[in-house]
Amino acid sequence: MSEGPRPAWSSAFDPGALPALDPIARIDDITPEWAWGDSSGAGVKVAVIDSGVDASHPAVGSVEGYLSVSQDGEELAYDKQPHEDVFGHGTACAGIIRTLAPDCELYSVRVLGPGLKGRGTVFAGGLRWAIENGMQVCNLSLGSTKRDLFGVFHELTDLAYFQGVMLVTAANNMPVTSFPSLYASVFSVASHDVDDPYRFYYNPDPPVEFGALGIDVRLAWRDGGFITATGNSFAAPHISGLVAKILGKHPGLTVFQMKTVLRALAANVSRDG
């Protein structure tokens, strides 16, 4: 046996260093009851990184915490005071998440302005804050097409993956590359039109891996109102809500385990052996 220095990264596998892990069900045995039966998402922290969330909307209820990110020159400013939804988009996403995980802890991270416009650096700052401040699920119904942000978002999605933070991202509504929705470590989501919030599909030919309800969806909106709209933005929070619901029952799941659970429960997986 070598008495020299051990290779880098090997200390995690020293005797006594690794924790014992609980097994999960065999993939073919995973059922909705196993995955989320009796779970309401209680205790799971979900960040809606968007245009803000209207906590007074009856479809949303309480918001546990707030963060508004802005940029002045080269510096980012972080404001934790309660804020409003400046467009309605964030409230729509929060309302969908509430329908599936009614007792999750919602956090509003506002990075978009009144026209749903925002700077990529502000978006990245809000995402970094969510990853570093205990969020377990981040709903990202937004993205950037700027190539110079590829590395920034790649770093953040890797950071989230290694910390067990589930990043649920909406694919762009146009056939263009956007970040971070097409990275392998996120839950990338596009739309289907079956009016069932629990029905989702797994795509065996990524980069977009999951399909959820996002066409002609009734949505909470600004000023206590509702609208009907279409977009991948509204498919993503259906997956975010299910992920929160599953974490409420199985809080120790990793990102890759969660993807495995969702794949097993997808509507296009044969149940006939």
What is the overall mean pLDDT for the chain? 94
pLDDT at 15: 85
Instruction: Report CA dihedral (178, 182, 188, 194) to the nearest 10 degrees.
Output: 70
Q: Which of 2-11, 42-51, 65-74, 101-110 has the lowest mean pLDDT?
A: 2-11
pLDDT at 2: 57
User: Who contacts 11 (Cβ-Cβ below 8 Å, separation ≥6)?
Assistant: 17
Q: With contact defined as beta carbons under 8 Å apart, do 49 and 107 qualify? A: no
Percentage of the residues of the chain whose pLDDT score is greater than 70: 98
pLDDT at 36 over 60: yes
pLDDT at 1 over 60: no
Could you give the CA distance from residue 220 to residue 85 in angstroms, rounded to a whole number?
11
Could you give the CA distance from residue 203 to residue 206 in angstroms, rounded to a whole number?
6
Percentage of the residues of the chain whose pLDDT score is greater than 90: 86
From residue 176, give the alpha-carbon distance in Å to each of 85, 173, 208, 262: 27, 8, 12, 25
Q: With contact defined as beta carbons under 8 Å apart, do 267 and 62 qualify? A: no
pLDDT at 272: 60
pLDDT in tens, 231-267: 999 999 999 999 999 999 999 999 999 999 999 999 9
Q: Which domains does the chain have, with CATH numbers?
A: 42-265 (3.40.50.200)
pTM: 0.93
Average pLDDT in the 38-51 region? 98
Q: Which of 88-92, 114-118, 138-142 has the lowest mean pLDDT?
A: 114-118
CA 99 distance to own-chain centroid: 15
CA 35 distance to own-chain centroid: 17
Average pLDDT in the 24-38 region? 90
pLDDT at 250: 97
pLDDT at 173 over 80: yes
* β-strand pairing of 187-192 with 210-213: parallel
**Quick check: bond before 180 cis, omega within 30?**
yes
From residue 188, give the alpha-carbon distance in Å to each of 61, 66, 178: 27, 25, 11
pLDDT at 29: 85
pLDDT at 273 over 60: no
pLDDT at 56 over 90: yes
pLDDT at 88: 98
pLDDT at 212: 96
**Band (163; pLDDT cuts 50, 70, 90):** very high
